[in-house]
Structure 1
Amino acid sequence: MRKISVLKWVPPFARGSVKEFRVRWALEEAGLPYEEEVLTPEDQDAASYRARQPFGQVPAYEDGEVSMFESGAIVLHIAEKSDALMPRDEQGRARTMQWTFAALTSIQPAVADVTALDFFYPQEEWAKLRRPGAEEFLTRRLGQLAGHLQGREWLEDRFTAGDLMMVTVLRDLRHRDFVSKVPVLDAYVKRAEARPAFGRALAAHMALYADAAKAEAAE
């Protein structure tokens, strides 16, 4: 049975953005069952887990054939086994891989820069100075992506793992209007979120934090 490591608790702003969600979604698109390995902070620091994931992060993944970490690599591994996530022809495979890496290297760093300023350093003077440049660069990157998506439903001629990765990156901006104010990007994310596999993956992901959410609401 496939197994992915997940976190027992994360703060509210991170729910829906933890990188294990990408793997859940990929498995749901591929129709592959899986189990959760729920981790506490102590579990993350344990030598046995660090032997599998040196940085103590999630997800780590096992399927009986491979043991690996890094969400992008795991999603591509799953996609290699699923027509739902990657075409079988060489050009289709290559373009799926290129968009997966584009999400991680061309878009995610710009997103992460802004979200870190928003969530972790909002009152720091250096962050206030950094913010205009970070937001300008992010806006430019999103404009380039929107230009490619103009007139398209997906990044290529069908949904692939590249779209899955790109949408999970864009969703990290849902606390701001960077995506929602660009109609082509807003529609793109909403199309992806309407996929049944996305709904199943998000429900399973959020179920982890249901008890914590109830406790927070009661405070």
Structure 2
Amino acid sequence: MDKTALTDDETVRQRDPNELFRDWMADAETNEINDPGAMSLATVDGDGLPDVRMVLLKEHDDRGFVFYTNFESRKGQEILAHRKAALCLHWKSLRRQVRVRGEVEIVTDAEADRYFASRPKGSRIGARASDQSRPLDSRATLETRVRDLEARYADGEVPRPPNWSGFRVVPSEIEFWRDGEFRLHDRFRFTRVGQGWDAVRLYP
């Protein structure tokens, strides 16, 4: 049985969307050419204007979809202000897409510390060096900061910055899209209902 298929209505409706996502993600990790965890993140600013950018999915389980960032960045400030977001993963090679919408929660300090410690040292240095999304007078300023931090932490661990952590998008909706001939795509939207999910097939 093809665990990634959306053709049989009753089979799809009986599935847990998180399980289905794991099957799709596993397929993408094997077959997608580059960055299977790349996803667009949509937020809204204080004026109600939408904002979107690419981030990387770092963890997924039944609780939600996790990514990490500087909380003082634009996306960090917008999420902290509204606590809602939308995600879209598009795997061009597989001709599939997953859309997610929901409330956003902050991961625990233990989760953030564990992930930060797993990153390459250069990435940890970069997280401390960058005032993400803020104006930068020159590339040289950033490079000087990086060199200074490399010297400071040459023989020790790089601590996680207090303004760097993770967000978990807790899905209220997960939609699966699979390309079809003549644009007759397969689409299923799962909507959270209590502790379960309601699934409906959508017109292409």
- Fold equivalence (TM over 0.5): no
Instruction: Report which of the two structures shows the higher radius of gyration computed on alpha carbons.
Output: 2
Q: Give the TM-score of the pair, scaled to structure 2.
A: 0.24
Higher helix share: 1
Tell me the TM-score normalised to structure 1 length.
0.23
Bigger relative contact order, structure 1 or 2 (CA pairs below 8 A, ≥6 apart): 1
Higher percent of residues as strand: 2
